[in-house]
RNA sequence: UAACCUGUGGUGUAAUGGUAACACUCAAGAUUUUGAUUCUUGUAUUAUAGGUUCGAAUCCUAUCAGGUUAUCCA
């Protein structure tokens, strides 16, 4: 058994370090804390994968906590959808919890903070407070209410809770430092008045705690060891710690573990948007059919599109975890779903853009049922029968009257194999009045042992069943639709992101179930859509097969993107070789030396001279320069003062290799 | 012109002071009853410049570039 020692990401390194420093392994605890104000999308999957993945790795509990402190935006519908999606992804939470469960505890702590002079009621307008807040480059100023007495603060806060005041008239603020360079520390708001109905607490509360005052304290109450969130919360960490340290003082006997927040870079996918607000706009404006439209990057959209939980988990694993901003190429997601479906999806034949083929030497009334393998990647998948007859459909793309020999498909006079069936030869075509090909007349040959270049999929016309086929393209035409300050993301919407076709399928597909997945051979992976009914089948194209032929067609000449595969200049290679020179074993040094000498033939004196000033410490580089210089001299370069200086300096160096080279001149 | 964070092939992630590795993409080739799959091969001044060290992607300094932070949102 080879133990796979996978490299750790930076969060795992932190955890390992904490463990080494005495944190008991059974104290490890994580959480996933969505706000129930929208559907989960592929970006959330990263956060889910990190926290739940850590739970699996360390056998530690992971809580699902709904961060529901803003009753105006949150709804039960979203809670249900989020739970459904996490379950579908295959993760299990230890406890289903709500920040709103902690409202009373939070309130009690807030009262303590007031009593300790750490919080005060501010009765200014939000504009006035914003004014006093300052800017990132300018310190803020204190509120006139900052020094209210404890008694007054207590009284006001209790009356806020009792519902005596209108929204916006008072807030509770932490008393920290209006001059802190971190703006979040400038007396942040802990509570605001909101006369709104909460989806869980109803009308019990009319003051609601803010994120910063809720999140860390919820972590603390749940004794979360590592609170993981995305990078934009980094500035909140200082405040997270400030609040935490205070409540820790109040409750350390009961809750001994102070959690720590760490931040990772969120996931960005090329050609997609991740903001819930913007996704909501697509739904509301009818650009897509709903949150689960197969073009949406939501979990429910991906599910409907045919992505499997396994493929998404694989994707998240491959994406990794780090702290730098990233844009992951959608091709990685596509790779993951293809890899998964390649092993699991049964192959079938379907023609989406049909042209009729008549096999003239096949009897009119004959039909035979040929054996076809369901999945060559999975021996247990077995075989099925497909009907063959005199008239079949093939793809219009698969025939050309005339074509070069790079075209492996059917052409007049050419032979091609029909998958699972015979070899046919195109004899002539029948066209309509517009010159459009109506029928291709072929002859067939039952000798299937011969070698032909192409193999086509096909469907017997009289046995074919029709189905609606929905093909999707990316929703946006820009790689980073919301990455332009000057242009709105709605301007990049691809008007052709959905195409609907009628497909002709082999009859084995009559009674498929919603969600079932297939590979339509040579076309891609398809699944049965929710809208599908017996007799009125609907398929979604999940993803196409890799198609190197299409790529070749798209750019017939050379490579499409002539990558500036610029050859590095000889001088830069010499510099690089020199950098390592002194560390190399002797035999390698000889090899490198020869290489430098060779490269030096392409180097001009003008390129070399600036390197004479190389720092004394960089003996390797200077050796390389010296070797190159010698070659230049040998090639006829005249010596000058600069050269002599450089050589003399080398002779006096403490590096023996350099001295040896210098003396050898 | 603030504070904080981040710079490793086209993309993403490793290497925790000791030969820059893995995956995807792309390209070329082999195999193939899917132009798929599978298999081979190829692609890097570790942002730049100094410094510390026998040895630096890694530590220090400066510079450059990008990002984040000013909702009674989370």
**pLDDT tens, residue by residue, A211-270:** 999 999 999 999 999 999 999 999 999 999 999 999 999 999 999 999 999 999 999 999
| Residue A522 Cβ < 7 Å to strand B | yes
- The CA–C1' separation of A552 and B42, in angstroms, is 20
Contacts of A268 (CB under 8 A, 6+ apart): A43, A274, A325, A326, A327, A328, A480
Is A325 an annotated catalytic residue?
no
| Residue A333 Cβ < 7 Å to strand B | no
- In A 236-255, which Cβ lie closer than 7 Å to strand B? 236
Which nucleotides on chain B have any atom < 7 A from a protein Cβ? 1-8, 10-16, 18, 20, 23-28, 33-38, 43-46, 50-57, 66-74
The pLDDT of residue A565 is 34
Residue nearest to nucleotide B27 (CA to C1'): A559
Instruction: Band the pLDDT of A583: cuts 50, 70, 90.
Output: low
The string of DSSP letters for A515-548 reads T-EEEETTTEEEEE-TT-BTTB-EEEEEEEPP-H
What is this model's ipTM?
A: 0.95
Among left, alpha and beta (phi > 0; psi -120 to 50; other), residue A657 is: alpha
Give dist(CA A641, CA A319) in Å, integer: 56
Q: Is A664 exposed, middle or buried (0-12, 13-18, 19+ CB in 10 A)?
A: exposed
Find out whether A608 and A621 touch, Cβ atoms under 8 Å: no
- Closest residue by Cα to residue A393 from A512, A549, A502: A502
Q: Is A381 exposed, middle or buried (0-12, 13-18, 19+ CB in 10 A)?
A: middle
Q: What is the pTM of this model?
A: 0.88
> pLDDT over 70 for what percent of chain A?
91
The pLDDT of residue A637 is 82
| Residue A583 Cβ < 7 Å to strand B | yes
Instruction: Band the pLDDT of A199: cuts 50, 70, 90.
Output: very high
- In A 58-87, which Cβ lie closer than 7 Å to strand B? 67, 69-70, 73
* Cα-to-chain-centroid distance, residue A165: 46
Higher pLDDT, A620 or A453: A453
Higher pLDDT, A397 or A622: A397
Find out whether A358 and A399 touch, Cβ atoms under 8 Å: no
A84-104 exposure pattern, b = at least 16 Cβ within 10 A, e = fewer: ebbebbebebeeebbbbbbbe
Structure confidence by residue, pLDDT tens digits, A308-351: 999 999 999 999 999 999 999 999 999 999 999 999 999 999 99
- Helix, strand and coil content of chain A, in percent to the nearest 5, comes to 35, 20, 40
Give dist(CA A43, CA A394) in Å, integer: 40
Structure confidence by residue, pLDDT tens digits, A510-561: 999 999 999 999 999 999 999 999 999 999 999 999 998 887 776 543 333 3
Residue nearest to nucleotide B13 (CA to C1'): A320
Joined tokens for residue A417: 């194999």
Find out whether A23 and A256 touch, Cβ atoms under 8 Å: no
Give dist(CA A107, CA A104) in Å, integer: 5
- Closest residue by Cα to residue A87 from A64, A106, A67: A64
């Amino acid at each position: 058994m080879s133990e796979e020692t996978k490299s750790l990401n930076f969060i795992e390194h932190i955890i390992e370090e904490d463990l080494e420093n005495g944190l008991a392994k059974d104290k490890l605890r994580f959480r996933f804390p969505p706000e129930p104000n929208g559907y989960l999308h592929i970006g959330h999957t990263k956060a889910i994968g990190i926290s739940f993945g850590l739970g699996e790795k360390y056998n530690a509990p992971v809580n699902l906590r709904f961060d529901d402190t803003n009753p105006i935006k949150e709804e039960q519908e979203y809670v249900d959808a989020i739970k459904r999606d996490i379950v579908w992804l295959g993760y299990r939470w230890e406890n289903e919890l709500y920040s709103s469960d902690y409202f009373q505890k939070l309130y009690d702590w807030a009262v303590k903070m007031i009593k300790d002079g750490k919080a005060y009621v501010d009765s200014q307008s939000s504009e006035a407070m914003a004014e006093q807040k300052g800017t990132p480059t300018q310190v803020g100023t204190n509120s006139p209410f900052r020094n209210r007495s404890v008694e007054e603060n207590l009284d006001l806060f209790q009356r806020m809770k009792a519902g005596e005041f209108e929204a916006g008239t008072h807030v509770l603020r932490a008393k920290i430092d209006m001059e802190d360079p971190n703006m979040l520390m400038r007396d942040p708001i802990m509570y605001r008045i909101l006369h709104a109905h909460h989806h869980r607490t109803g009308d019990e509360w009319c003051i609601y705690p803010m994120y910063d005052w809720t999140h860390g304290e919820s972590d603390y109450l749940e004794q979360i060891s590592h609170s993981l969130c995305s990078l934009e919360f980094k500035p909140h960490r200082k405040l997270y710690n400030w609040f935490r340290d205070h409540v820790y003082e109040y409750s350390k006997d009961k809750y001994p573990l102070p959690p720590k927040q760490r931040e990772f870079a969120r996931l960005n996918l090329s050609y997609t948007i991740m903001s819930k607000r913007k996704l909501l706009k697509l739904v509301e404006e009818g650009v897509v059919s709903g949150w689960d439209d197969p073009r949406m990057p939501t979990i429910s959209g991906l599910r409907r599109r045919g992505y499997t939980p396994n493929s998404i988990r694989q994707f998240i694993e491959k994406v990794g975890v780090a702290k730098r901003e990233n844009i992951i190429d959608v091709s990685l997601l596509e790779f993951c779903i293809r890899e998964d479906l390649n092993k699991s999806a049964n192959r079938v034949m379907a023609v989406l853009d049909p042209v009729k083929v008549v096999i003239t030497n096949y009897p009119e009334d004959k039909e035979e049922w040929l054996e076809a393998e369901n999945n060559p990647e999975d021996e247990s998948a077995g075989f099925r029968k497909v009907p063959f007859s005199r008239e079949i459909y093939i793809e219009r793309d698969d025939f050309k009257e005339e074509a070069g020999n790079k075209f492996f498909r059917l052409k007049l006079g050419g032979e091609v194999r029909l998958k699972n069936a015979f070899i046919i030869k195109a004899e002539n075509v029948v066209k309509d009045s517009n010159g459009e090909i109506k029928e291709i007349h072929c002859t067939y040959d039952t000798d299937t042992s011969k070698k032909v270049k192409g193999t086509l999929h096909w469907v017997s016309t009289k046995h074919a069943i029709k189905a609606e086929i929905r093909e999707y393209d990316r929703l946006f035409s820009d790689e980073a639709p919301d990455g332009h300050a000057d242009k709105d993301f709605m301007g990049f919407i691809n008007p052709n992101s959905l195409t609907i076709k009628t497909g002709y399928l082999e009859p084995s597909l009559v009674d498929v179930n919603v969600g079932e997945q297939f590979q339509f051979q040579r076309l891609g992976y398809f699944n049965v859509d929710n809208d599908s009914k017996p007799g009125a089948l609907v398929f979604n194209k999940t993803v196409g097969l890799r198609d190197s032929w299409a790529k070749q067609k798209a750019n017939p000449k050379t490579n499409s993107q002539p990558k500036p595969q610029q050859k590095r200049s000889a001088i830069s290679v010499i510099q690089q070789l020199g950098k390592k020179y002194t560390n190399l074993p002797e035999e390698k040094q000889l090899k490198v030396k020869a290489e430098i000498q060779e490269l030096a033939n392409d180097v001009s004196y003008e390129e070399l001279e600036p390197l004479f000033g190389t720092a004394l410490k960089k003996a390797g580089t200077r050796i390389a320069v010296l070797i190159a210089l010698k070659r230049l001299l040998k090639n006829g370069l005249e010596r000058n003062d600069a050269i002599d200086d450089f050589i003399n300096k080398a002779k006096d160096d403490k590096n023996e290799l350099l001295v040896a080279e210098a003396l050898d001149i």
